[in-house]
Amino acid sequence: MSKNITSQTLQRLPIYLNYLMSLSETIKSGNISATAIAGALGLNNVQVRKDLASISRGGRPRTGYVTAELISDIESFLGFENRDGVIVAGIGNFGRAMMCSESFSDYGFDVVCGFDCNQDIVGTSVNGKPVRHISEMKNFCLCENIKTGIITVPEKYAQEVCDIMTDSGIKYILNFASIHLNVPESVNVHNENISLTLAMLARCNFSENRS
Amino acid sequence: MSKNITSQTLQRLPIYLNYLMSLSETIKSGNISATAIAGALGLNNVQVRKDLASISRGGRPRTGYVTAELISDIESFLGFENRDGVIVAGIGNFGRAMMCSESFSDYGFDVVCGFDCNQDIVGTSVNGKPVRHISEMKNFCLCENIKTGIITVPEKYAQEVCDIMTDSGIKYILNFASIHLNVPESVNVHNENISLTLAMLARCNFSENRS
């Protein structure tokens, strides 16, 4: 799997997939060109060609892509064949939002379980997914082979929860607590600091329609 | 105000400020060196010097910074003298999380009001802040001189809400709906696509402790 894909390309993959899935069976069982996809989605021809080249077996001159192959290449890149279970630690408003988000599935993720230590929440379910006690995390993650976790606990608990996650075999952590987390070399962390993002936007004019 | 400050520097400013505020009145009424701050916070000397130079009137050789001046320079950069009111549109779990977040205040932001069109929510309050009907947004923002808005509505309503925000004088929009928003040249948008971030992290090994 390419590690060099840009977030812009990654962001367009579900759009390509949704479009291809919406096509008639006739086209799905035939070929489609990058030009046709670009035209239908109002995207730049060259960009679409580059995007698809980075994740597919490639199109053929004149005939274009075998539609079914392209669909399966995108699905396989997005991890649809082997969807990744995701856990959420800290089931406050933020954690609930994560458990209710529909958009994770666009990238082959399923939020499968929430964890908290508040006995009023433990044993309940959010969006049809169970909330378990944080002490059950390790067993759950090892049994279910969970590699991805989201931390939405208050700052003061974040490192402790992070340690439990890494001890549970989690390799990818999306951290919403605004502290730096210490993790082993083998674990990847992304810190999502929303107030910092807002400050960059409103105090430093850092924004996407400007950049 | 510097537009070239990095997010790393911006992220450290509240840390410097909290430290300086925690000092004794004696030191607050005297001087402090970048070296002393770096030592106390376990940060790199040169980094601290660069950070402070980017937002302050600068330290003096040997004597260092006038502590009170440095505090006011950081506070002024972070907008504490003239705190920015922020509104949130879409008071689901995500919107509630935004209205309850304490960390915005670290950067001089106050979430002052939420907006929704669900009559079960309109008229209630979240974290002591009112939730009003979306039709009241324009009046509210113009009266309160609100320039910053957060969009946490479902995708299908996001552009409509964005249009109401720009019509209400909002200049900075943090968008959590995973669609591209069309805005006038004068408006800055940052799109926060959490599922995309998770995909970049877990599918492409894009993470901060690696980069």
List Cβ neighbours of B68 (8 Å cut-off, separation of 6 or more).
Answer: B28, B29
> Residues of chain A with pLDDT > 90: what percent?
56
pLDDT at B1: 46
Q: What is the pLDDT of residues B160-175, one digit of tens each?
A: 999 999 999 999 999 9
B108 interaction partners in chain A (CB closer than 8 Å): 199, 203
Query: Which of residues 121 through 150 in chain A touch B, CB cutoff 8 A?
Result: 147-148, 150
Q: What is the pLDDT of residues B55-109, one digit of tens each?
A: 888 778 788 899 999 999 998 888 777 789 999 999 999 999 999 988 898 888 9
Q: Does A109 touch chain B (CB under 8 A)?
A: yes
CA distances from B206 to A2, B197, B200 (A): 12, 9, 5
B79 interaction partners in chain A (CB closer than 8 Å): 203
Distance between the two ends of chain A, CA-based, in angstroms? 28
Q: Does B68 touch chain A (CB under 8 A)?
A: no
Alpha helices in chain A (DSSP H): 7-22, 25-28, 34-41, 45-55, 67-77, 93-100, 137-144, 155-167, 194-204
pTM of the entire structure? 0.79
Residue A2 in this model has a pLDDT that exceeds 60: no
Q: Which of A131-135, B188-192, B207-211 shows the lowest per-residue confidence on average (mean pLDDT)?
A: B207-211
Q: What is the pLDDT of residues B43-52, one digit of tens each?
A: 899 999 999 9
Q: Any idea which residue has 């591209």 for tokens?
A: B180
Least CB–CB distance from B11: residue in A79, A194, A196? A196
Residue B22 in this model has a pLDDT that exceeds 70: yes
* Averaged pLDDT of chain A: 89
Using alpha carbons only, what angle is made at residue B198 by residues B197 and B202, rounded to the nearest 5 degrees?
120
Q: Which of A23-37, B121-135, B149-163 shows the lowest per-residue confidence on average (mean pLDDT)?
A: A23-37
Subunit contact B11:A193, Cβ cutoff 8 A:
yes
Subunit contact B101:A194, Cβ cutoff 8 A:
yes
Q: Which of A38-42, A186-190, B85-89, B173-177 shows the lowest per-residue confidence on average (mean pLDDT)?
A: A38-42
> Which structure tokens are listed for A37?
């996809």
pLDDT at B14: 84
List Cβ neighbours of B125 (8 Å cut-off, separation of 6 or more).
Answer: B131
pLDDT at A207: 57
Q: Residue range A31-43: average pLDDT?
A: 90
Nearest CA in chain B to A15: B179
Q: Residue range A95-114: average pLDDT?
A: 92
List Cβ neighbours of A41 (8 Å cut-off, separation of 6 or more).
Answer: A15, A16, A19, A48
* Averaged pLDDT of chain B: 89
Interface predicted TM-score (ipTM): 0.79
CA distances from B187 to A121, A173, B89, B93, B145 (A): 40, 32, 17, 26, 15
pLDDT at B3: 53
Subunit contact A94:B92, Cβ cutoff 8 A:
no
Q: Does A156 touch chain B (CB under 8 A)?
A: no
pLDDT at A28: 87
Using alpha carbons only, what angle is made at residue B59 by residues B54 and B65, rounded to the nearest 5 degrees?
110
Contact call for residues B54 and B4 (beta carbons, < 8 A): yes
Instruction: Please give the residue that has the higher pLDDT: either B174 or B4.
Output: B174
Q: Residue range A46-72: average pLDDT?
A: 89
pLDDT at A211: 34
Q: Does B44 touch chain A (CB under 8 A)?
A: no
pLDDT at A191: 85
Contact call for residues A29 and A41 (beta carbons, < 8 A): no
